[in-house]
Amino acid sequence: MPNEPRQFRLTVDELPKRWYNIQPDLPEPLPPPKDPDDGTSRVEQLPNMMIGECLKQEFSQDRWIDIPEDLRSLYLQAGRPRPLFRAFGLEKALGTPAKLYYKSEFYSPTGSHKVNTALAQAFYAREQGFERLTTETGAGQWGTALAYGCALTGLKCTVYWVRAVYRWKAARMAFIKLLGADVCASPSDRTECGRRLYEKNPEHPGSLGIAISEGLEDSRNDPKAAYSLGSVLNHVLMHQTVIGLESQKQFDMAGVYPDLIISCLGGGSNFGGFALPFMGDVLTKGKKTKFIAAQSQAAPNLQGEYRYNFADHAEMTPLLKMYTLGHQAEMEPIKGDGLRYHGCSPIISLLRHHGYIDTVAYPQDEKHVFENARLFVRTEGFLPAPESAYSICCAIDEALKCKETGEEKVIGFNVSGHGFMDMEGYSEVLGI
């Protein structure tokens, strides 16, 4: 260990110049969005709801899509490329023969991987002449990232924040406001779909599905606004592939190739961003890497049904083919609330359907997850976001299996965010 490098860094010039679009490499064409049997056409509404360039990317069959130079410059401003670390401290504590590597999305200025698509979406929205973006947020990480993207590109931003989380993340709320965004708890009394729930119960905990409906309704009523989604959609996962593309180069530098890729999964953007470039190698180059998505039993969407379902609560989106628990499923709030979403992105769902992705769902009390995050903090020194703690927990569980079997597996996992604004969650779950 002592002379082996702990950290793999890329130069500014090595920041990816193109995103990877996995669509042409999928084992079958992605089932397209469709309309329900009755009601107005949601598919026809898409150009009115979404940023034009993002909509184009959503259906693109081009394997590589250029990242505009001005956007690359914003990625540099946000601190990309980010290092890959070898987790020597954690390996030693576990006594495992496995080699553990983690990507450091926690170095993001807003605290998570979400900036990679927030900057792209804000960039394209400004190019198209929009003045405001509306959105949902669960953990608050996506809301902060979009507020940041809008601040840097001179756009206004409105964030509908799942009430269960809005209530306990005061520091993150102040951060979102500091960035200049307008933020309210969802369900709110600002939209028709929010009011229906809010008036019945002003303390309604909310869900990502409800907050998406509110953001959509808000932007639909303002021609200068577009709606921006932080996960699930194909173009969002594609923007996130900068994570996996950088990591591939860094594993090259380390002289190893991962046997196992692990990440947490809510709607699928972090998992997809890290895993899809490696998945491309499996699909086109015969690599044998395995993939595990770490979830919560509060929202084990990958164990739901594979079928067409709405992406939001109020049925304003088209139907997407995905693993789902049902778009109006009630799911108990958790500290890793960014994982509490009813459905999984169509791309990841298709790959799961074809057997390429395994999943694990950890108990809702989150004790096992947070205890493993504590071990990570004490051995590696970085404080993960509660959602990222699920990736770490799964990597630790897999490393312990290697200890039993003696396998020297190379395991890569993504620490999608930091937890500096989540200390109440740690204190409550761990009784600190």
Q: Annotate each residue in 60-99 with x if it binds ligand PLP (CB under 6 A) or - if it does not, as one string.
A: ----------------------------------------
Stretch touching ligand PLP by CB under 6 A, among 72-80, 146-154, 263-271, 274-282: 263-271
Contact (Cβ atoms closer than 8 angstroms) between residue 105 and residue 136: no
Residue whose CB is less far from ligand PLP, 71 or 208 = 208
Residue from 149, 268, 346, 412 in contact with ligand PLP (CB under 6 A): 268
Q: Which residues of 279-300 are buried (b: 16+ CB within 10 A; e: fewer)?
A: bbbbbeeeeebbbbbbbbbbbb
Nearest 10 degrees: Cα torsion 224, 227, 230, 232: -150
From residue 64, how far is each of 188, 208, 219, 318, 394 by CA, in Å? Answer: 40, 30, 30, 26, 31
**Binding residue count for ligand PLP, defined by CB under 6 A:** 21
Residue from 22, 87, 139, 150 in contact with ligand PLP (CB under 6 A): 139
Residue 270 in contact with ligand PLP, rule: CB under 6 A: yes
**Closest to 293 (Cα-Cα) out of 312, 274, 320, 321:** 274
Stretch touching ligand PLP by CB under 6 A, among 47-55, 83-91, 193-201, 384-392: 384-392
Residue from 110, 121, 241, 388 in contact with ligand PLP (CB under 6 A): 388
**Closest to 424 (Cα-Cα) out of 80, 217, 170:** 170
Residue whose CB is less far from ligand PLP, 254 or 383 = 383
Distance from C-alpha of 193 to C-alpha of 217, rounded to nearest angstrom: 8
Residue whose CB is less far from ligand PLP, 123 or 274 = 274
Residue 416 in contact with ligand PLP, rule: CB under 6 A: yes
Angle between helices 346-353 and 234-254 (to 10 degrees): 60
User: Residue 219 class from Cβ within 10 Å (0-12 exposed, 13-18 middle, 19+ buried)?
Assistant: buried
Distance in Å, CB of 290 to ligand PLP, minimum: 19
Stretch touching ligand PLP by CB under 6 A, among 13-21, 136-144, 168-176, 422-430: 136-144
Q: Where are the beta strands (DSSP E) in 247-340?
A: 260-264, 290-296, 305-310, 319-324
Distance in Å, CB of 293 to ligand PLP, minimum: 9
Residue from 91, 259, 387, 422 in contact with ligand PLP (CB under 6 A): 387
Stretch touching ligand PLP by CB under 6 A, among 60-68, 303-311, 319-327, 380-388: 380-388
Distance in Å, CB of 426 to ligand PLP, minimum: 14
Give me the residue label for tokens 């914003």.
74
Residues in 215-234 at the binding interface with ligand PLP, rule: CB under 6 A: 231
Residue 392 in contact with ligand PLP, rule: CB under 6 A: no
Q: Between β-strands 84-86 and 99-104, what pairing exists: parallel, antiparallel or unpaired?
A: antiparallel
Residues in 92-121 at the binding interface with ligand PLP, rule: CB under 6 A: 112
* Residue numbers at the binding site for ligand PLP (CB under 6 A): 112, 138-139, 141-142, 231, 264-271, 338-339, 385, 387-388, 416-417
